[in-house]
Amino acid sequence: MLPETDKIIEVEDLTVEFRKREGSLFAVNGVNFSLARGEVLTILGESGSGKSVTLKAMMGLLPGYAHVTGQARLNGKNILALPPAELTKVRGSEVSMIFQEPMAALDPVYTIGEQIAEAIVQHEGISKSAAMKRALELLERVSIPSAARRLKNYPHEMSGGMRQRAMIALALACSPTVLLADEPTTALDVTVQIQILLLLRQLSEELGMAVVFVTHDIGVAAEISDRIAVMYAGRFVETGTVREVMRERRHPYTAGLLASTVHGGLRGQDLETIPGAPPSLAALPPGCAFAPRCRSVQETCRSGQPPVVDFGPGTMVRCVRAVPQMAFA
């Protein structure tokens, strides 16, 4: 773990339960992590593992039937316990979010400039003209060409890559301490994707922002991260630096994800796959959630939750076979 003085945000035992008439669904089950300034943590996993729900819980953006417990302390203040009015002040100013699909997040009836300026006026109380000037500076900072002209564009008049850059500019409008990025490159082509990743990495270092980045793409995770948390069925099953996770791959799920990734060295070879499908979060198995798909499953895996094995500060594996001398090839 990081020294106490270095931590900007600390998430402890974050749990999200969706309560409906049909029963409860546990989407996030005891997530823990902390971040320092300028550090990027990537949450990696398949669709439905709880990645996006984790970010939305931190922002207070889940529906009323979601029951959220645990803590998310921003500079020592638990934002999960804030009343709605206080939480509204924190959103955008101290914690901002980049959504997966900017066309759904941006308002189609207002120009890009108006939307960025509105956020600045609301949180900082400056004049509209001063806010528009800042909006122009932000569009230039995220490398949007002809920024003065794009300031007057509506979202539908911009390409997917430029809309995503505009979404980043909106998220940065009030210089947040923490940036949450929910698969911001999924819908973009590869060339634009790498540009956005490099931009986010650069802004994180320049502005000293802590970034939580969500993706299911291992290549993206390797490109942008300082640390990776592999998530499965609402739990972190392995955490560590990029080097540790990519090389050691101590959890069988991590090993499966990496083995099923396409790269140039696989030409002429069969691609490995993880058998089966993720479990229903409404009916998780009694033991390890990955046990039904695991090639290294043991009988003890089916009867109880696997232990959390620490391999050093910020590095852990949730698996009965995770002993120091064993890594999954």
Per-residue pLDDT tens digits for 82-97: 999 999 999 989 999 9
Beta strand pairing call for 210-215 and 23-36: unpaired
Instruction: Give the C-alpha separation, 155 to 133, whole Å.
Output: 19
Say how many CA atoms lie within 13 Å of 5 toward its Cβ.
Answer: 0
Instruction: Give the C-alpha separation, 121 to 98, whole Å.
Output: 19
Q: Where are the alpha helices (DSSP H) in the chain?
A: 51-59, 84-90, 102-105, 112-124, 128-141, 147-150, 160-171, 190-207, 218-224, 242-248, 252-259
Where on the phi/psi map is residue 263: left (φ > 0), alpha (ψ -120 to 50), or beta? beta
What pLDDT sits at residue 22? 83
Looking at residues 131-154, what average pLDDT do you find? 94
Beta strand pairing call for 235-241 and 308-312: unpaired
How does the average pLDDT of the chain come out, rounded? Answer: 90
pLDDT for 101 beyond 90: no
- Is residue 168 within 8 Å of 135, Cβ to Cβ? no
Which is more confident, 237 or 296?
237
Looking at residues 313-317, what average pLDDT do you find? 92
pLDDT for 323 beyond 80: no
R_g over Cα of the chain: 21
pLDDT for 1 beyond 70: no
Per-residue pLDDT tens digits for 52-91: 999 999 999 999 999 999 999 999 899 999 999 999 999 9
Looking at residues 241-251, what average pLDDT do you find? 93
- Is residue 65 within 8 Å of 19, Cβ to Cβ? yes
High-pLDDT (> 70) share of the chain, %: 95
Largest CA-CA distance found in the chain, in angstroms, rounded? 67
pLDDT for 226 beyond 60: yes
Per-residue pLDDT tens digits for 270-283: 778 899 999 998 88
Domains of the chain: 4-94+177-318 (3.40.50.300), 108-175 (no CATH)
pLDDT for 288 beyond 90: yes
Looking at residues 194-201, what average pLDDT do you find? 89
pLDDT for 211 beyond 90: yes
Q: How far is CA 72 from CA 22, 57, 113, 235, in A?
A: 29, 9, 32, 16
Q: Give the pLDDT band of residue 265 (cuts 50, 70, 90).
A: low
